[in-house]
């Protein structure tokens, strides 16, 4: 990247219509072939292509055409603009021409009567501001009518459309294919008693099969022709030639039975119909199970407040959030979302930043503190000055980071794509060799008029050398159809994901499963992942009196407080069965603590500063406080009637299964690291408790992804386990992002693996399921390749010289189906699989050290 000249640009294109890894290869090759494109990486899960290009040499239109030529579609962003000042249709035409000529605009339609324009554009090439400026320069007013979220709605629409399309095809091909199969079986065994004879009529079968080939099967022909034009082969081609040849022979033998293709009985309608149905089933399953990564961006965008209360000309006005300017003063009341990033200029409050920082405890905000757009104001009201707006806000940057991380893909996938391409090419070469051999040599050497097709009533006595060689050649194509190869991976992935779901572990796709199985390092986010993410009382130290009384008085003092630490103390007291009466007086001292009175007693609870300001001596409590702080706990001093009384320590506690999960990961030879924004002392204390040996401390939310990258640069496959939107870029950067159930929905959507429960043992179980699934995929691939290795020679007619029988395309299809069945049955064995970590009795769990447990528990 550093060596690239400055004119190189990067664009992310949304591509519709991709169904498999071969589609990825199609698009990558089509885009890479364009002069001026240096790199094109297509991600199947996100449906996006990341293209590095020279705008002087290649245009967006050329990229769209290249993608369209291989059978797919570039979906552009769409914006609705309200245009003022148009007087006639000519104005509309002028705008259309000017906007349409911009390099990143795909289509511009201006409606004079409605005073609006609809523009399809690529924002990376031509931003909306450039479109607006162009219209302005022509002398018209223009306002954007829609939110950026429309792009996401359209993306989801495209995905749903593909699922619907394949479902319709599956219904058509499945229903008609079954009827054709029943019809073909009619003359055999006991079937004449049940199946009407007319269903075996070749013309009826022709009318049943033709819609299957022409409607659901059309995509294979179109895609393979488009692919061939760009020099790429995929399974579509094998499907197309197999289906096409089987169907072609069937049609010829139905209407021209004497043409030398095996006669009236040698029709292979069921081969063509069922082949199509099987392939469509695979396509449908793939479309359904593919990633829903755009949902993450959608949820992030939902956090962006729509309006802001801005003070302009001494008046408070409600305006759209995207119209807030830098240095605007914004008023925020309790319960409202903060519209943009800024600095507090007046007021005091606590703000829930969990959606951005992942910290569960609301953060106090006073004059001079920074606030983050998208977070929620909890208690007080305040005013702040906007410092970052629009695309510069922290939330927008997180969205961009997630989007970028999601457009990359593992290199191994590309190798697999190439292997698939070569396999198909090899089968066609084999088919040609077979044809030539039997046409010129085999037929004259070994053909006998009593030749038959295996397990069929078809006689070959009427077939000539061409018909014979063609049958064998087509059989090679059909028998080699990598249906089992195609099923090997998705069926195991389906089983693996189903097994995962049983345990509340949701994998988002094959790539997540594959990568999870190879994980060599796991990074855990601390807050809310290793810990519960809820502060609770951990220690109570009494100076004058018993611990219960200290907690009782602290609870009474904090009873009316809305501060999270206060709430933790109240909950801690109640959990221990302590009744908390109402204080007579209550007063919060911002940033320091609280004051209350109970009867004759004056109670004070807060930090050192509060004690110092109230001139209360806490020397005797200092060693204990320092020890607690060293353990990463917040020590709060309690004073009664002006005398130090005790300490209540509050901290986040480790989840019960954290230590056990880490021990299991170590047992699997997986390195475990912890990442946190905490200081190193606190982080190391917690890491020690759970047995983590590598600590990444004092990491800012936006730097977490970089830390993941550093670990990846050591050559490790890294899994990141986290929650909260602040983890989203790190989850996306990691080879496997594991979003834990206690996290927000956004982080969940960003992760490749979602843990429904809040149990870290599911991280271990998830990796074990992924490993078992990959083992199953390997077995399946051995089955499938083994089938092809054995079946292809039979398809080529090696047995014919000895038995005078050929494998018919029909039998080839059956063998192909059998291989698929064997793969499916092998996969079904996964139903009994139980992850090793879940086989162990609960008692085997390593107890969390007592020091981290709440005092008194």
Partner 1 sequence: MKNTNLISAIIYTGISLVAAGLFIAGTLPGHYTAVERFGGAAWVFLLCMIISMPIIIPLVRRKMQ
> Under the rule (CB under 8 A), what is the footprint of partner 1?
29, 33-35, 227-233, 237, 241, 259-260, 421, 425, 428-429, 431-432, 435-436, 439-440, 464-466, 469-470, 473
Give the residue ranges of DSSP H helices in 292-442.
Answer: 294-302, 354-357, 394-406, 411-437
**Burial of 484 (C-beta count, 10 Å sphere; 0-12/13-18/19+):** buried
Nearer residue to partner 1 within complex by CB, 476 or 638: 476
Q: How far apart are CA 276 and CA 817, in angstroms?
A: 12
Q: Which of 234, 322, 341, 525 is catalytic?
A: 525
H or E stretch covering 649: strand 643-654
CA distances from 506 to 290, 723, 753, 822 (A): 13, 15, 5, 26
Angle of CA points 597, 618, 553, to nearest 5°: 30
505: β partners: 755
The radius of gyration of the chain from alpha carbons, rounded to an integer in Å, stands at: 34
648: β partners: 540, 636
Q: How far apart are CA 658 and CA 664, in angstroms?
A: 10
Nearer residue to partner 1 within complex by CB, 472 or 487: 472
Q: How far apart are CA 672 and CA 228, in angstroms?
A: 47
Beta strands in 145-240 (DSSP E): none
Nearer residue to partner 1 within complex by CB, 477 or 519: 477
Q: How far apart are CA 607 and CA 141, in angstroms?
A: 58
**Burial of 318 (C-beta count, 10 Å sphere; 0-12/13-18/19+):** exposed
Nearer residue to partner 1 within complex by CB, 57 or 694: 57
Nearest to 738 by CA among 726, 725, 724, 723: 723
- What 3-state class would DSSP assign to 379? coil
Nearer residue to partner 1 within complex by CB, 272 or 594: 272
Rounded to the nearest 5°, which phi and psi values hold at 739? -95, 125
641 in Cβ contact with 740 (< 8 Å): no
- Helix axis angle for 809-828 and 235-255, nearest 10°, is 140
Nearer residue to partner 1 within complex by CB, 114 or 432: 432
Q: How far apart are CA 229 and CA 223, in angstroms?
A: 10
752 in Cβ contact with 738 (< 8 Å): yes
Q: How far apart are CA 760 and CA 524, in angstroms?
A: 10
Q: Tokens 């094959």 label which residue?
A: 510
| Residues 843, 847, 850, 854, CA torsion sign | negative
Q: How far apart are CA 251 and CA 265, in angstroms?
A: 11
Name 560's Cβ contacts closer than 8 Å, sequence gap at least 6.
Answer: 582, 583, 586, 596
Nearer residue to partner 1 within complex by CB, 234 or 341: 234
Active site residue 525: yes
Name 25's Cβ contacts closer than 8 Å, sequence gap at least 6.
Answer: 232, 234, 414, 417, 418, 420, 421
Rounded to the nearest 5°, which phi and psi values hold at 79? -130, 140
Q: Tokens 């091909």 label which residue?
A: 173
Q: How far apart are CA 276 and CA 483, in angstroms?
A: 11
Two structure tokens written together for 560:
């009316």
| Residues 180, 181, 187, 191, CA torsion sign | negative
Q: How many residues does the chain have?
A: 857
854 in Cβ contact with 538 (< 8 Å): yes
Two structure tokens written together for 305:
């407040």
Which pairing describes strands 105-111 and 585-589: parallel, antiparallel, or unpaired? unpaired
Name 673's Cβ contacts closer than 8 Å, sequence gap at least 6.
Answer: 521, 522, 523, 524, 692, 694, 695, 696, 711
362 in Cβ contact with 340 (< 8 Å): no
51 in Cβ contact with 408 (< 8 Å): no
Nearest to 564 by CA among 652, 632, 685, 625: 652
The residues annotated as belonging to the active site are: 525
């Amino acid at each position: 990247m550093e060596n690239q000249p400055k004119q190189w640009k990067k664009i992310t294109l949304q591509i519709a219509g991709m169904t498999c890894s071969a589609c990825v290869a199609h698009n990558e090759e089509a885009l890479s072939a364009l002069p001026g494109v240096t790199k094109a990486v297509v991600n199947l899960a996100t449906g996006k292509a990341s293209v590095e290009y020279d705008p002087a040499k290649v245009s967006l239109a050329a990229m769209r055409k290249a993608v369209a030529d291989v059978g797919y579609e570039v979906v552009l962003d769409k914006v609705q603009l309200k245009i003022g000042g148009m007087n006639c249709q000519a104005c509309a035409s002028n705008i259309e021409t000017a906007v349409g000529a911009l390099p990143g605009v795909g289509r511009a339609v201006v409606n004079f009567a409605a005073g609006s324009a609809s523009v399809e554009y690529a924002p990376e090439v031509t931003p909306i501001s450039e479109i607006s400026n162009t219209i302005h320069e022509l002398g018209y007013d223009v306002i954007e009518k829609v939110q950026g979220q429309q792009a996401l709605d359209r993306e989801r629409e495209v995905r749903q459309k593909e699922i619907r399309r394949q479902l319709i095809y599956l219904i058509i091909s499945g229903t008609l294919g079954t009827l054709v199969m029943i019809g073909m079986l009619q003359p055999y065994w006991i079937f004449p008693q049940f199946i009407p004879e007319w269903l075996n009529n070749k013309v009826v079968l022709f009318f049943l099969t033709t819609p299957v080939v022409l409607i659901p099967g059309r995509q294979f022909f179109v895609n393979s022709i488009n692919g061939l034009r760009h020099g790429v082969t995929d399974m579509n081609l094998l499907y197309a030639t197999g289906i096409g040849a089987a169907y072609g022979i069937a049609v010829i033998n139905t209407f021209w039975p004497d043409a030398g293709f095996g006669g009236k009985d040698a029709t292979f309608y069921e081969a063509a119909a069922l082949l199509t149905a099987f392939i469509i089933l695979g396509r449908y399953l793939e479309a359904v199970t593919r990633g829903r990564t755009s949902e993450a961006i959608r949820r992030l965008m939902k956090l962006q407040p729509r309006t802001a209360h801005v003070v302009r000309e001494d008046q408070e006005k409600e305006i759209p959030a995207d119209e807030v300017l830098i240095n605007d003063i914004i008023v925020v009341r309790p319960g409202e979302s903060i519209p943009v990033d800024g600095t507090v200029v007046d007021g005091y409050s606590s703000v829930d930043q969990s959606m951005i920082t992942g910290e569960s405890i609301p953060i106090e905000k006073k004059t001079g503190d920074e606030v983050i757009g998208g977070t929620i104001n909890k208690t007080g009201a305040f005013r702040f000055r906007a410092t970052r707006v629009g695309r510069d806000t922290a939330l927008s940057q997180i969205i961009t980071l997630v989007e970028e991380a999601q457009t990359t893909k593992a290199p191994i996938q590309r190798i697999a794509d190439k292997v698939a391409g070569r396999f198909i090419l090899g089968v066609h070469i084999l088919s040609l060799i077979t044809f030539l051999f039997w046409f010129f040599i085999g037929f004259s050497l070994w053909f006998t008029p009593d030749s038959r097709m295996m397990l069929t009533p078809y006689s070959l006595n009427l077939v000539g050398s061409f018909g014979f060689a063609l049958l064998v050649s087509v059989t090679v194509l059909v028998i080699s159809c990598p249906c089992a190869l195609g099923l090997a991976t998705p069926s195991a992935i389906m089983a693996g994901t189903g097994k995962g779901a049983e345990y509340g572990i949701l994998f988002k796709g094959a790539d997540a499963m594959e990568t999870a199985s190879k994980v060599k390092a796991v990074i855990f986010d601390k807050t809310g992942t290793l810990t519960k993410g809820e502060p609770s009382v951990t220690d109570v130290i009494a100076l004058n009196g018993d611990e219960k009384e200290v907690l009782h008085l602290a609870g009474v003092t904090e009873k009316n407080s809305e501060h999270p630490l206060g709430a933790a103390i109240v909950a801690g007291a109640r959990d221990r069965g302590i009744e908390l009466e109402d204080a007579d007086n209550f007063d919060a001292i911002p940033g320091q603590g609280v004051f209350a009175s109970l009867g004759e007693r004056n109670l004070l609870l807060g930090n050192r500063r509060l004690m110092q300001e109230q001139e209360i001596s806490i020397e005797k409590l200092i060693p204990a406080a320092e020890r607690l702080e060293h353990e990463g706990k917040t020590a709060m001093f309690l004073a009664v009637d002006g005398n130090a009384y005790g300490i209540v320590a509050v901290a986040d506690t480790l989840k019960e299964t954290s230590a056990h999960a880490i021990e299991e990961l170590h047992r699997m030879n997986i390195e475990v690291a912890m990442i946190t924004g905490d200081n190193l002392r606190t982080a190391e204390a917690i890491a020690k408790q759970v047995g983590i040996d590598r600590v990444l401390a004092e990491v800012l939310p936006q730097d977490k992804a970089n830390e993941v990258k550093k670990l990846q640069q050591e050559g490790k496959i890294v899994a990141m386990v986290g929650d909260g939107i602040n983890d989203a870029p790190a989850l996306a950067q990691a080879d496997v992002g594991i979003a834990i159930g206690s996290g927000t929905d956004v982080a969940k959507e960003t992760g490749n693996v979602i843990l429904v429960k809040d149990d870290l043992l599911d991280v271990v179980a998830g990796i074990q399921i992924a490993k078992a699934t990959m083992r199953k995929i390997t077995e399946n691939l051995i089955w499938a390749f083994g089938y092809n290795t054995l079946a292809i020679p039979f398809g080529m007619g090696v047995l014919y010289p000895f038995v005078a029988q050929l494998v018919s395309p029909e039998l080839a299809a059956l063998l192909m189906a059998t291989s698929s069945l064997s793969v499916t049955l092998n996969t079904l064995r996964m139903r009994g699989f139980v992850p090793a970590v879940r086989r162990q009795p609960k008692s085997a769990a390593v107890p969390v050290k007592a020091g981290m447990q709440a005092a008194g528990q």
